[in-house]
Every structure is written in structure tokens, then in C-alpha cells.
Amino acid sequence: MARAAAKSPGKLLPIAVCLLLAAPALGVVGHPGAGQPTDRPNDDVIGLWGSGGATNASCVAIGDDWVVTTQHQGVNIGYEATLGGTMYVVGDIYKHPTADLTLAWLKKDGQYADLQHYVELYDGRSEANELTVIGGYGRTTGATLYTGGGTAYGYEWAPSPTSAPVWGSNKIESIRRSDVIMEADFDESDTAYEATIADKDSGNGWFIKNSGQWQLAGLGYGITAHYEPGHEDDPNYRLEESWFRDSSTGNLAPDLLYAIRMKSYSSWVDNIVNNWKLPGDANEDGKVTDADYTIWANNFDPATGGATWAMGDFDGNGYVDDDDYDIWERTYGYGVVPAPPPPSTPVPEPASTAVLAIGVFALIARRARRS
């Protein structure tokens, strides 16, 4: 497809900005005919966020019930993710205080997700100059773009997203911004399956093989942005294109792509996963049942403070209050097979009223339990 080269030069922008401005999820863009790497992680480690048919970027499975993604996507409790063709729901979420990083615990039908395919975080040598395999969902390579002199300089993004992860490769050029961001470029020669990422593919996986095992090295975060001439930085005129050469001269000028460096945040992730408690499980028996309600009700006191998890303070604010009841109700039945529906129970008041509520609950909410 021949096309005039009247384009403004690219500018580096985080996908955090771009993602908020485009509707469909976009994916990995590679050179036509290059194909996809066959040596790669299982497709099922890549997840697709979305609800009601809409899509909103990717996530990566890093444990039986855990995925990581970027924070700017707005993922929260109750949000849906599809991995391996199965729909899961976010049951608990942690957002890094300074990085664009979110850790989410998934559930399925009121039970643990029990994901069958996931990867560990990368713990090898420096990522600089390492080959990375990149996987994500969405739109891929579209029509080729040419300069006025007939030199191919880039690609439009395909008009429709794909229904399966798309894979490519690249070489990590450097580690930037105080060792928290990895940088690569989209040229024609670094790797056999050279690829970049596009809008709405934040949260996609950058993987490095370490001691024979694929590990998650980064999460897609940013790309070079291009605009119509005279409209630089205006999202209404942002071009859905990836370039590897200058659009006017045809000289090599590859787009840059960025990823959040997971090694920089591995301690934060490990601390949460290793010390995580099932929300609402006051007695920590791996189930959320009537017994946990009783503990919460016995200690209900939204004024005094100093409460602990074992007393029913599930949000860690030091009080046993209505918010903690909401957490218990939301996860009621986890770990119990089959999971019963949440009971309708009056919320107790402090002191004598709490004792009355416990008695009423014991009469109307008694049900069979299974260890």
C-alpha cells in the first residue's frame, strides 16, 4: 500500500497515556512473513482483560491464582480475565504505591482459580542484550507503509483484534529510569521474529528463557507515538502505526518500546503472594464460612481500633466494621465445595446488639459444612 509520507516525527509516550484513548485491545506487530517463534511460553500464561465482550489489554499468570498487569488499565475487584479460554474474576487486588504495576488474585465460580499454566519472575543475569519473546492479544500487522520514494517504513495496525495471543521477539537494548524500565527497538535485524507492541497492549509479557525455563522479565508499558503533521501530542490525531524507518527519508529510525522491569519489583510481589490470606478467612483454615462471620461479629467495633486479622479486620485498618463484613460476604463459600450462596444477614451493632445478631444468624444460616 503506497502512502504519502507527510507524518510528524515520533514521540515517546507511555502506553499508560495511549491506552486511555483507544477502544480495542491491540497486540504484537511484526514484519510480514516472519511468522511467530515456536520456542515460547504456553499461550495460556497470557490473559486478556475484558467484560461483556469488551477488551482491555493483557495480563500474565505468575502463580496458581495470581496474575500481574499494569495499574493504569483500571483493573479492580470483580473485573474479568480470560486465560486459556476460561473466564476468571478478580477477587483481591494489590496496587504498587509508586510503579504502574498491579497484582491480582483470581477466582472461578467462587473457588480458587487453580491456573494450570504460569511462569516465575525472571531472576537471571542482566536483561540488557538478552533475547525476549513478547506475547499479547489484539490487532497485529496491517498494511505496509511506504515513503514517497517507495521505501517501506512501517505498518498500519490491522483493523480487527485476534482471538488468540500473538508472539514475536526482540532484543532488550538497555535498562533505564533507575533500573525499573527495559527498552528495546523495532528494527529489521535484531531477531528472527522482530516485533513491537501497540496501544492497549500494556500488561503483555516479555519473557526470557533462564536455565531452560521461560520467566517473566517485563510487562509492556510504552511505545513511540506518531501523529498527523501539525497535531503533535493531540490524541485525536494519533496514528495507529508502527515504524522502523523514517517516514520521509527512509533511513533506519526504529520505534522504541518499553516494559516494566519485573526484577525490580520481585520482592514486592513475593511478599504479597507468600503472606497472602484469603479475604474473609479470619481463622485461616483456607475457607470462608459461618465460623469466620462469628469471629467478625464477636469483635465488631468500628470505634476502638487495634483490631487484627484474627479478630475480623480483613482490610487492615485496625477496626472490625461494616467494610470487613462486605469482604467476608464477597468471599463467602471459598474453599467449600460446593460453594453456598452468601446468606442475607443483618449487620450487627456493637455490644448487646452483636450478641443478638449472632443468635439470629445461628438459627437462619445453619448449613452443612465440608472441610
Per-residue model confidence as pLDDT tens for the chain (371 residues): 333 333 333 444 444 333 333 222 346 888 888 889 999 999 999 998 876 444 668 899 999 999 999 988 888 989 999 999 999 999 999 999 999 999 999 999 878 899 999 999 999 999 999 999 999 886 788 999 999 999 999 999 887 767 788 899 999 999 998 899 999 999 987 899 999 988 667 889 999 999 999 999 999 988 898 999 899 889 899 999 999 999 999 999 999 999 999 999 999 999 999 999 889 999 999 899 999 999 999 999 999 899 999 999 998 899 999 999 999 998 898 887 655 556 655 444 444 333 333 333 332 333 333 32
- DSSP letters along 40-70, please? S--GGGEEEE-STT----EEEE-SSSEEEE-
Where b means 16+ CB within 10 Å and e means fewer, 5-44 reads bebbebeebbbeebbeebebbbbbbbbeebebbeebbeeb
Q: What is the rounded end-to-end Cα distance, in angstroms, of the chain?
A: 64
Superfamily of domain 11-102+117-270: Trypsin-like serine proteases (2.40.10.10)
- Long-range contacts, stretch 286-291, CB < 8 angstroms, 24+ apart: 286/335, 287/334, 287/335, 287/336, 287/371, 288/328, 288/331, 288/332, 288/333, 288/334, 288/335, 288/336, 289/332, 289/333, 289/336, 289/369, 290/361, 290/365, 290/366, 290/367, 290/369
Residue ranges matching CATH 2.40.10.10 in the chain? 11-102+117-270
